[in-house]
Structure 1
Amino acid sequence: MAKKEKPEKIICQNKTARINYFIEDTYEAGIVLAGTEVKALRDGKGNLKDSYVAVKDEEIYLYGMHIGPYSHGNISNHEPERVRKLLMHKREIRRLYGKSREKGFTLIPLKVYFNNSRIKVEIGVGRGKKLYDKREDIKLKEDRRAMERGLRSRSREG
C-alpha cells in the first residue's frame, strides 16, 4: 500500500519577490539547519524578507533569512541571521550559476515549506521589474477585482 503524501505546509513566503521580479523558473532545494532552527520554524518564526541566494565555490547559500530564536532553547540557541547552506545537485547548481550570471537575473527564495517533514526552500530565477511593470500589474489586479465585483452583484440580483 502506498504512503499518503501530506500536503506541503508553508512556513513563510517572500511576498515582495513576485511583486518586484518576473519569476522565470523555480527550483526546490533542501536546507541545512540546526535543531533549534527546525523547532523555531515549526513555530512559524521564519522570515524571508530581504533574503537572497548566491552561488559560491560550486555551493549554494541562503543569505539574510531570519529565523527567530526558539523559545525553549538554552544557551546553544542558533544565530537568527546566519548564512545557511542549501542542498541541490551539482548539475542544478551549475545551471543556477549560469542563469544568475546572465544580465538582469537574480536568485530569490520564494518560500520555505515542509515537504514530508523535511524543510525545503523554493528558489526562483527572476528578472527585476521596472516601475511601469509594477503599475501595469496593479492595474490588471484592480480590473480583475472590479469584474468579480460586477459578477457578484449580478448574481445577487438575479
Structure 2
Amino acid sequence: MFKEGFEFQVSVSSDPSTPCFRLNPYVEDAVIRYPALVNSMTKAITVAAYLLAASLAYASSCPVMLVSGMRDVDGIVVTFRNAGKLPIRDLEFNCSLARAAQPPQRMACREKNALFYPGMEYTLRYPQPRGTGQVTVSVKSATLSDGYVFRPSKRQSCRTLRISPGRTKK
C-alpha cells in the first residue's frame, strides 16, 4: 500500500518522553518542509498568473478598430473606435494614395498627444493631395496610456480601411 520510504516504526514504551511512533527520516523531512513548499508553490502560481494576465492584456487584439472612411473635398475622413481597455495617447496610421502608374504616395496621418478613451468612436480628418486613386488606411502604431506601444504584426493584425475614389463627402 505504501511505497518504500513511507514506513512507520511503532514502539511501545512506558516512558512518556519517547514518542509512540516515528516516521521514516525522509518522511519526517518532507512533513517539516511541507508548509515552506506550499508557500513557495503558492508564490510561483501567483507570479505565473500575473504574467499570464499581463501577456493577455498586451497580446490582445488591435486596440484600434477602423470603422469607416470617406473622401472629403481636400482630404480623407477616418472614423475609428478605441477597442482596447486603456486610453490611447498617441496614434499613427499608414495612409497611402494608390495611383495607377505610380508607386503609392504616403501621407502623414498622426495624432500626437491625443486622448482617446476606450469604447468611444472618434472621427479624424487628414488633408491629402488631389488624386483619383484609392486611399488605404491601416494602423501603424498606438501608444497606450501606460506607455505600451502597440504595433500590428501577423499574430496581432488590425483591420485595413480602403477608401475608394467614388465615396466623397462634400
Do the two structures share a fold, i.e. TM-score over 0.5? no
Q: What's the TM-score, normalizing by structure 2?
A: 0.25
Q: What's the TM-score, normalizing by structure 1?
A: 0.26
Which has the higher Rg, Structure 1 or Structure 2? 2
Q: Does 1 or 2 have the higher relative contact order (CA < 8 Å, sep 6+)?
A: 1
Q: Which has the higher helix share?
A: 1
